[in-house]
Structure 1
Amino acid sequence: MQTGKIIKSISGFYDVLTAEGKVERTRARGNFRKQKIKPVVGDHVEFEDGYILAIKPRQNVLVRPPMANLDLAIVVMSAVQPDFSTNLLDRYLVYLAANNMEALIYVSKIDLLSEQQLAQLMPLLQQYGEIGYRVYSHGTADFSGIKEAAAGKTLMVMGQSGAGKSTLLNYLLPELKLATAEISQSLNRGRHTTRTVTLYPIGVGGAIADTPGFSSLDLSQINSEDLGHYFIEFLDVSGQCRFRGCQHLREPDCAVKAAVETGTIAKFRYADYVQLHDELGNLRPTYRKS
C-alpha cells in the first residue's frame, strides 16, 4: 500500500503525490460515497491499484474551496478594478477564523490608485495590521515577504476574481504561467480563470494552492452567536461585557461597543460585524454531515 497527498481533484479523479515524488492518478473506492466522505485536495491518503483506500485524520477542512490540512491562507484583495471592500475582506477573514486558518492579506493594484484614493485606503490597511493580520501590498518586495511567510507551509491563495491571484502565483511559481483574468467592466468582476483546485510544491516541504475565484462565501454554517469570536480584536475586550454571551448589539454595558466609541475597534469592522450578524441570524442553521 502506498501513501501520499492529493494535489489535484478533477472530475472524480485524484492526483496523489507520493513521498518518492511521483504523481499517481487515483479514484475513491465506492464505500466512501456510501459513508458520504469525499477526498479533497490536501488530504493525506493511503492507496493501492489506483484506488484511495483510506483518508488520514485531517488538521482542518474547508468546504469552499474544498481543501484539507492547510496552514495558511493568502487573501488577495484588489485596491481597484474591482474596488477594495472591507466587507468582503472581513467575510473571508471570518470564514478562515471559523475554520481555524491563519490569514495573510495581500492587496494588489496599489499603483493604480490616485493620491486621494491611496490616502483613503492606507489607514484601513493599517487598521488590519494593528488588529494582528500581516498585510502586504503590490510590489516585488512584498512578494518576497509573502514567499518567506509561506516557507515550509501548505497554503492556499483565495480572493475575489480579477484581484490578482494569478499574478501573485506566477511570481511565487513562475513555471505555472497561469492565465491572467480579464476584467468585465459591466460586472466590475473578473472572469473566472481558474476552474480546478490544484496544489503545487513550493520550496522545501511547502505547497501552495490556486483556487477558483469567487466574490461570495458560504457562511451559513457559522452560528450568529459565535460570530464575535471570529472578529479577533473583539476578544481583547469582550470579557469585560456585562453579560456572558453578549452579542455586542443592543446589550447595555457592552465593552465592544464602548471600544468602538473610543476608536479602539474600527467603526467599519463593527459595521461589517453587525451586517453579517444580521444576515446569519436570518438564515436557517445548516450542519455538516459527519
Structure 2
Amino acid sequence: MPEGKIIKALSGFYYVLHQDHVIQCRGRGVFRKNKITPLVGDEVVFQAENNQEGYILEVKERKNELQRPPIANVDQAILVFSAVEPDFSPGLLDRFLVLVEFNHIKPLICITKMDLTNDDEQQKISTYAEHYNGAGYEVILTSSETEAGIDRLNPHLENKISVFAGQSGVGKSSLLNVLRPDLELKTNDISAHLGRGRHTTRHVELIKVGNGLVADTPGFSSLEFTNIEAEDLTRCFPEFLRASEQCKFRGCLHLKEPKCGVKLKVEAGEIPVYRYEHYVDFLREIKERKPRY
C-alpha cells in the first residue's frame, strides 16, 4: 500500500502528499471507533481508488503531537510574536515555550514588526532577546515590510517540518508571504477595539517553503497545561533545569524549599524575575487544575 503525509485537513477530508502528488482522502470508520483522529503531519498508509481520491487505512506512530494547533511530527516550532501591535507578551510566549518544550519540539523565537518600533521599544525588545538567548533560545528579529531578518530565518526551515504559531495578528501570514510571495495568504489589520488581530488562518496546512514544510496555523490567545504535571514544569524552563543541579533537595519545585539553585540564580539576576514569576503562576495553575476522570 502507498504511504504519504497529510498536508491539510479540511471538512472531513485529508489531503495526502505522495510523490509530489496530493490525493484527497477520507478516514476509514476504524479511526472513529478507536478514537484516532488523523492530524496534519501524520505519516499514513492509504488506498487510492484513482489519482484523485482514496482512503486512509493506517496512521503511523507519531514522534510528537500538538493539540492547539492540531499537528503531528513537528521538527521545530517557530513562535511568532510581534514587537508591537499587539505588544510583545513574555507571559504568553512563556506559555507557548512550556507547551513546546513539554512535547520535545525545538522552539525558535521570531519577533516581528520591528520596523514599527521606536527607540525605546527596540531597546526593550533587545533586552528580552538577551534574556531568552541566555535561557538557551535563539531569537530572530524580523520585519515583513523591510524583510529584515528573513535571511536568518530561511536556513532554519530547510528539510524540516516547522509549525508557525503565535497570538492572532502578530504577522504569521505576512511572514509566510515574504518566505513564499506566491502564496498571497490573507492578512488582516489589528482590531483597535480588541487590541489583537482578527483570525485569518482557518485551518492547519503544510506549505512547501524551499526544501521544508511550514504549517500556517490558526491564531489563538491562550493555552492550557492540560497534560503537564507540576514535576514536569521545571524541565520546560531550560535555565531552571540547569540551575536545579544546585538545589539541595531532589524534586525541588523552587518555591519555599531552602538552598534552591533556581531562586539563588533569580536573586543574583542570572534568571529574569519575570521568568520565575511566570513559572510560579503556571505551577499554581497546574496545582489548581480540576482533576480529570
Q: Is the 8 A contact 1:240 1:255 kept in 2?
A: yes
Q: Is the 8 A contact 2:39 2:72 kept in 1?
A: yes
State the match for 1:4 in structure 2. Answer: 4
Amino acid at match of 1:130: G
Mapped to 2, the partners of 1:286 and 1:104 lie a distance apart of 32
Identity of aligned residues (%): 49
Question: What displacement does 1:225 show?
Answer: 2.4
Amino acid at match of 2:70: P
Cα-to-partner distance string for 1:240-259 (whole Å, 9 max, x where unaligned): 21111111011111110001
State the match for 2:152 in structure 1. Answer: 145
Amino acid at match of 1:260: V
Cα-to-partner distance string for 1:236-278 (whole Å, 9 max, x where unaligned): 1102211111110111111100010011111111111111111
- Please say which of residues 33-42 and 233-242 is displaced more in the overlay: 233-242
State the match for 1:16 in structure 2. Answer: 16
Mapped to 1, the partners of 2:2 and 2:188 lie a distance apart of 38
Write out aligned runs for 1:103-182 (5 A). Answer: 103-139=107-143, 140-182=147-189
State the match for 2:30 in structure 1. Answer: 31
Task: Count matched residues.
Answer: 285
- 1:254 pairs with 2:253: no
Q: Is the 8 A contact 1:64 1:218 kept in 2?
A: no
State the match for 1:277 in structure 2. Answer: 283
Cα-to-partner distance string for 1:82-104 (whole Å, 9 max, x where unaligned): 11111000000001000110000
Structure 1 stretches (4+) deviating beyond 6 angstroms? none
Mapped to 2, the partners of 1:144 and 1:121 lie a distance apart of 20
- 1:91 pairs with 2:95: yes
Question: What displacement does 1:141 show?
Answer: 4.1
Cα-to-partner distance string for 1:17-61 (whole Å, 9 max, x where unaligned): 002x11100011001111010100000101113110011111111
Give the alignment's TM-score, normalised by structure 2.
0.94
Mapped to 2, the partners of 1:264 and 1:211 lie a distance apart of 34
Of 191, 196, 209, the match for 2:203: 196
State the match for 1:41 in structure 2. Answer: 40
The answer for unaligned runs of 5 or more in structure 2 is none
Q: Is the 8 A contact 2:86 2:196 kept in 1?
A: yes
Q: Is the 8 A contact 1:221 1:285 kept in 2?
A: no
Write out aligned runs for 1:64-79 (5 A). Answer: 64-79=68-83
**Aligned to 1:17, what secondary structure does the other structure show?**
strand
- Please say which of residues 187-196 and 138-147 is displaced more in the overlay: 138-147
Mapped to 2, the partners of 1:210 and 1:286 lie a distance apart of 31
Q: Is the 8 A contact 2:15 2:22 kept in 1?
A: yes
State the match for 1:55 in structure 2. Answer: 59
Question: What displacement does 1:120 show?
Answer: 2.1
Give the alignment's TM-score, normalised by structure 1.
0.95
Question: What displacement does 1:233 show?
Answer: 0.4
Mapped to 2, the partners of 1:164 and 1:15 lie a distance apart of 26
Amino acid at match of 2:14: Y
- Please say which of residues 134-143 and 153-162 is displaced more in the overlay: 134-143
Mapped to 2, the partners of 1:113 and 1:199 lie a distance apart of 31
Q: Is the 8 A contact 2:102 2:232 kept in 1?
A: no
Mapped to 1, the partners of 2:188 and 2:225 lie a distance apart of 26
The answer for unaligned runs of 5 or more in structure 1 is none
Mapped to 2, the partners of 1:112 and 1:22 lie a distance apart of 41
Q: Is the 8 A contact 1:220 1:286 kept in 2?
A: no
State the match for 2:106 in structure 1. Answer: 102
Question: What displacement does 1:286 show?
Answer: 4.3
Q: Is the 8 A contact 1:161 1:181 kept in 2?
A: no
**Aligned to 1:59, what secondary structure does the other structure show?**
coil
**Aligned to 1:219, what secondary structure does the other structure show?**
coil
State the match for 2:193 in structure 1. Answer: 186
Mapped to 2, the partners of 1:284 and 1:225 lie a distance apart of 17
**Aligned to 2:255, what secondary structure does the other structure show?**
coil
Mapped to 2, the partners of 1:232 and 1:71 lie a distance apart of 18
